[in-house]
A and B are shown apart, each in its own frame.
Chain A
Amino acid sequence: MFGKLLHYEFRKCRSSKIMLLGITTVLELLFLIGILSKDENVLAISVVLLTITAIVGVIGLGIESVITLHRDMNTRQGYMLFMTPNSSLKILGAKVLENGLSMLLAAVFFGALGFLDVSLLFSYFGELDRLWQILSEMMEQFIPTLELNWGTAAVLILDMLCSWLAMVNMGYLADVLASSVLRGKKAGGFVAFLLFLALSFLMGWLQQTLVPETLPIIQRQIWFSVVALACAAGMYFLTAYVMERKLSV
Chain B
Amino acid sequence: MLESKNITMRFGQKTAVDGVTTTLIPGHVYALLGPNGSGKTTWMKLATGLLKPASGEILWNGAPVGIESRREIAYMSTEPYFYTWMTVQDVGKYYDDFFEDFDPARYADLLSRMELTPELKTRNLSSGMMAKLKIAVTLARRAKVYLLDEPFNGIDLIARDEIARTIIETAGKEAILVLSSHLIEELEALADHAIFFREGKLILDCDLEEMRSDSGESMAERYRALYARKEVI
Which residue on B lies nearest to A1, using beta carbons?
B98
For residue B79, CB closer than 8 A to chain A, the reply is yes
- B72-108, CB under 8 A of A: which get 1 and which 0? 0001010111111100000000100111000000000
- Docked complex Cα distance between A143 and B85 (Å): 48
Output the least CB separation between B50 and chain A (Å): 5
Which residue on B lies nearest to A180, using beta carbons?
B52
Contact of A77 among B11, B48, B51, B83 (CB under 8 A): B83
Interface residues of B in 19-60 (CB under 8 A from A): 45, 48-52
Q: Could you count the A-B residue pairs with CB atoms below 8 Å apart for me: how many are there?
A: 57
Output the least CB separation between B121 and chain A (Å): 14
Residue among A7, A14, A78, A80 with the highest chain B CB neighbour number at 10 A: A80
- Docked complex Cα distance between A248 and B51 (Å): 4
The DSSP consensus for interface residues of chain B is: loop
Interface contact A79-B94, CB-CB below 8 Å: no
Residues of A within 8 A of B85 (CB): 11, 14-15
Residues of A within 8 A of B49 (CB): 82-83
For residue A209, CB closer than 8 A to chain B, the reply is no
Contact of A80 among B11, B68, B70, B94 (CB under 8 A): B94
For residue A130, CB closer than 8 A to chain B, the reply is no
Interface contact A8-B94, CB-CB below 8 Å: yes
Interface contact A85-B52, CB-CB below 8 Å: no
Residues of B within 8 A of A186 (CB): none
A residues in contact (CB < 8 Å) with B: 1, 4, 7-8, 11-12, 14-15, 76-80, 82-87, 183, 245-249
A-B contact pairs, 30 of them (CB 8 A): A4-B98, A8-B97, A15-B85, A76-B77, A76-B80, A76-B81, A77-B81, A79-B50, A79-B81, A80-B82, A80-B83, A80-B94, A82-B49, A82-B50, A83-B48, A83-B49, A83-B50, A83-B70, A83-B75, A84-B70, A85-B67, A85-B68, A85-B71, A85-B99, A86-B67, A87-B67, A245-B52, A248-B50, A249-B45, A249-B51
User: What are the 6 tightest A-B residue pairs by CB atom distance, in nearest-first order?
Assistant: A84-B98, A85-B70, A79-B81, A248-B51, A76-B81, A4-B97
